[in-house]
Amino acid sequence: MNRRTIVLTGCTRGLGRSLLAEFAAGGDRVVGCGRSTSAIASLRTEYPGEHRFDSVDVSDADQVAHWAKSVLEQFGPPAWLINNAAVINRTQPLWQIDPAEFSRLMNINVTGSFLVARGFLPAMVEQKRGVIVNFSSGWGRSVDPDVAPYCASKWAIEGMTLALAKELPEGMAAVSLNPGVIDTDMLRSCMEEYAKTCHKPADWARVAAKTILSFSAKDNGMQHAISLGSTQRGE
């Protein structure tokens, strides 16, 4: 079977974990990464065979470069490159945020997406094929109080993706994706009661996986949002 390769960051929990299950069930090869070594070990047991899972800190340039080089040598350029890995700040006004927390969030959410793109895109550009999907947020196109660092990171993702879209050769696409409001640990950390009323990641992934795999060169520069009928207010 000639499987398509999908590179997916943040695959050990939340939306990434649910997407992984959908992609694998559809017959595609998933090359995923996450920071938790124990969660990665569990994925290797659950999904043996042609899939690949590695413990990678996407904010670490050396780790990402080594991982990307190894993956490209094993599988070649991916058909889809999905930057999903992200964290959110503790809910409080901007002036109360610890500088170390702000830096960590930006390093994972923004720098991490850049480093992963930098690792894989040269090989994809050489073939003039492939789609890069950078996960944004409702908070990358609007704002709420007490999540200013997260908003800043996702607005940065929007800008970076739009600029990248103008740099890619014909035949490729860069898309920013607002996943909508889903009941994840991340959303519960800032809106627990509201999060409980939202769609579950597995339900979301059944729609999202098909949407992501439908993206092609014609969608280059698109700012897409997935809606399952719930209110679009962040995450």
User: Under a CB-based contact definition with an 8 Å cutoff, are residues 176 and 223 in contact?
Assistant: yes
- Flag whether 138 is in a domain: yes
- Flag whether 151 is in a domain: yes
Q: What are the catalytic residues?
A: 150
Q: Is the pLDDT of residue 232 over 90?
A: no
pLDDT tens digits, 49-58:
899 999 999 9
- Flag whether 92 is in a domain: yes
pTM: 0.92
- Flag whether 231 is in a domain: no
Give me the phi and psi of 229, to 5 degrees please: 100, -5
- Flag whether 84 is in a domain: yes
pLDDT tens digits, 156-199:
999 999 999 999 999 999 999 999 776 555 655 565 565 566 56
The reported pLDDT for the residue numbered 231 is: 40
- Flag whether 75 is in a domain: yes
User: In the chain, how many domains are there?
Assistant: 1
Question: How far from each other are the two terminal CA atoms of the chain, in whole angstroms?
Answer: 37
Q: Is the pLDDT of residue 235 over 50?
A: no
Give me the phi and psi of 16, to 5 degrees please: -65, -40
Provide the domain limits for residue 27: 5-225
Q: How many CA atoms lie within 13 A of 142 on its CB side?
A: 9
Between CA 115 and CA 111 the distance in angstroms is: 6
- Flag whether 135 is in a domain: yes
pLDDT tens digits, 86-141:
999 999 999 999 999 999 999 999 999 999 999 999 999 999 999 999 999 999 99
- Flag whether 233 is in a domain: no
* Joined tokens for residue 105: 């969030």
| E strand segments, 35-161 | 52-55, 80-83, 130-135
User: Under a CB-based contact definition with an 8 Å cutoff, are residues 221 and 174 in contact?
Assistant: yes
**How many CB atoms lie under 10 A from the CB of residue 60?**
16
CATH of the domain at 77: 3.40.50.720
